Amino acid sequence: MTTPPRILFATMPMDGHFSPLTGLAVHLRELGYDVRWYVGGHYGDKVKKLGLHHYQPVRAKTVNQENLEALFPERSAIKGTVARLRFDISQVFLLRVPEFIDDLREIHARWPFDLIVHDVAFMAGSFLQELLPVKAVAVGVVPLAESDELVPPSGMGKLPAKGMVGRWLQSLSRFVVQRILFKPCNDLHNELRQQYGLQPVPGFMFDTMVRSADLYLQSGVPGFEFPRKRISPNVRFVGPLLPYSSGRKQPFEYAAKALSYKRVVLVTQGTVERNVEKILVPALEAFKNDPSTLVIATTGGSQTDELRRRFPQDNLIIDDFIDFNAVMPYAHVYVTNGGYGGVMLALQHQLPVVAAGVHEGKNEIAARIGYCQVGIDLKTETPSSAQIQKAVHTVLADGHYRQAVHTLGLEFSAYQPNQLAGQYIQALTGTPAASATLVSY
């Protein structure tokens, strides 16, 4: 019987990069592949809870949003979205590549994996497929970032231009962004390649991350993307890749209460953002005196008790964590900082979205929400109570939003992401599930 390929998952130590791949990893393990995971920080414990072997980084420094300011205090003085993004790309992602490569080469010497599955921001993956006899599967955990003449430059949160003049200006903007504003990042990427004897790559480095992979699995659906002239042949949309779930649904604790209100607003600012004044406080302020609206706020563990004391109203539920699959069937609108997984889950539940996010690529997700008319992009990280209140009432009152959300929700629900991604990986490795056998460590 054919020995199944050995698959190493490798991800950046961040929720939005790690969690979407967990369901796929477990699915591949269940198909019989020998699946292991390389990731830093506290995510090692999560890997072990999935029943997978974990490789702890040895040389690689763990850098993420939890310790970024402490490691790089100069970052707080950087003004402007582009300047901060350029800093983060260099310090968090690119300069970690040599450290990751050292660790992965050592792992491969002891356990010669055949395939590496990595989130697209784990840039060492594209190096590794040229340095080792392995294939690489990159996973798009953010909207498709590949350049195209019909779409604006990725990272700016802009909408596609209309008309000949608009597209000319968009083309000029793409040139400025890729060849001038992010030239230091492109140059650093090629300097790192040359350190390993690899040829420099022309064009934008994000395009290389997409196009160089043997297979690129894009989380999401075509209907939640801007129209494009072309998409690289290695790109496959697989539907919403979401965190692993055992399938056991927990009943929603506040179901009876939710059913007694005219509208239910679910609000979150993600698991990383700690400043509750950005979204949580203005959302709670907006509806604290509205007896017809129930607000369910999930804090991610930030200042939960303080918020409960500050907002004791009966129509406000404030909790550390809430199972979105349990609560979303009872909600009417989703207010968020624009995390990709939460937005896709909301759309799958046919919830209109009010998005208030700018940094860490949230502006790209918010822009698609507005473009697809499945919600409102507030174009800010610090919305006022009045802005949130108006946006919530608008998406609930305007039938165009309901219809767009319904249509896109059906498209999301039509995909079986892990099964589809597994089929593409099986085709790449040439090993069908039927020939796979369970492997012990």
pLDDT, tens only, 217-227: 999 999 999 99
Cβ neighbours for 126, distance < 8 A, ≥ 6 positions apart:
136, 138, 208, 209, 212, 213
Domain spans of the chain, in order of start = 6-239+415-429, 254-414
- Distance CA(256)–CA(339), nearest Å, equals 28
SS3 243: coil
pLDDT, tens only, 50-106: 999 999 999 999 988 888 889 999 988 888 878 888 999 999 999 999 999 999 999
SS3 400: helix
In this prediction, residue 84 carries a pLDDT of: 86
- In this prediction, residues 335-344 reach a mean pLDDT of 94
CA nearest neighbour of 69 among 51, 91, 52, 86: 91
In this prediction, residue 111 carries a pLDDT of: 97
In this prediction, residue 156 carries a pLDDT of: 85
- Distance CA(441)–CA(437), nearest Å, equals 13
Specify whether the CB–CB gap between 331 and 296 falls below 8 A: yes
Cβ neighbours for 73, distance < 8 A, ≥ 6 positions apart:
none
- Say whether pLDDT at 354 is over 70: yes
User: Is 277 or 39 the better-scoring residue by pLDDT?
Assistant: 39
In this prediction, residue 440 carries a pLDDT of: 35
CA nearest neighbour of 25 among 421, 413, 338: 421
- Say whether pLDDT at 435 is over 80: no
CA nearest neighbour of 265 among 358, 353, 366: 353
CA nearest neighbour of 267 among 311, 331, 314, 220: 331
Label residue 1 by pLDDT band (50, 70, 90).
low
- In this prediction, residues 261-290 reach a mean pLDDT of 91
Specify whether the CB–CB gap between 204 and 197 falls below 8 A: no
- Distance CA(163)–CA(222), nearest Å, equals 23
User: Is 270 or 276 the better-scoring residue by pLDDT?
Assistant: 276
CA nearest neighbour of 118 among 105, 106, 109, 128: 128
pLDDT above 70 covers what percent of the chain?
A: 97
Find out if CATH 3.40.50.1400 is the number for domain 6-239+415-429. no
What φ, ψ does residue 276 adopt, rounded to 5°? -70, -15
- Say whether pLDDT at 292 is over 60: yes
Q: 254-414: CATH homologous superfamily?
A: Glycogen Phosphorylase B; (3.40.50.2000)
In this prediction, residue 306 carries a pLDDT of: 94
pLDDT, tens only, 367-392: 999 999 999 999 999 999 999 999 99
- Distance CA(323)–CA(247), nearest Å, equals 12
Which ranges of 32-75 would DSSP assign to H, the alpha helix?
A: 43-49, 68-71
- Distance CA(68)–CA(103), nearest Å, equals 21
Q: Picking from 41-45, 47-51, 96-100, 435-439, which range would have the lowest pLDDT averaged per residue?
A: 435-439
Mean pLDDT over all residues of the chain? 92
User: Is 222 or 436 the better-scoring residue by pLDDT?
Assistant: 222
Torsion angle (degrees, nearest 10) of CA 143, 148, 152, 157: 10
In this prediction, residue 434 carries a pLDDT of: 45
In this prediction, residue 85 carries a pLDDT of: 86
- Distance CA(241)–CA(419), nearest Å, equals 11
pLDDT, tens only, 159-199: 999 999 999 999 999 999 999 999 999 999 999 999 999 99
- In this prediction, residues 123-147 reach a mean pLDDT of 96
Q: DSSP characters for 101-139? A: HHHHHHHHHHS--SEEEEETT-THHHHHHHHSS-EEEEE
- In this prediction, residues 424-439 reach a mean pLDDT of 68
- Say whether pLDDT at 415 is over 60: yes
Q: What tokens appear for 156 in the block? A: 């700016």
In this prediction, residue 76 carries a pLDDT of: 85
- Say whether pLDDT at 314 is over 60: yes
CA distances from 150 to 63, 147, 231, 271, 397 (A): 34, 9, 11, 33, 32
Specify whether the CB–CB gap between 138 and 216 falls below 8 A: yes
Domains 6-239+415-429 and 254-414 equal at CATH topology level:
yes
What predicted TM-score, i.e. pTM, was given to this entire model?
A: 0.92
- Say whether pLDDT at 46 is over 90: yes
What number of residues does the chain have?
A: 441
- Distance CA(299)–CA(272), nearest Å, equals 10
pLDDT above 90 covers what percent of the chain?
A: 83
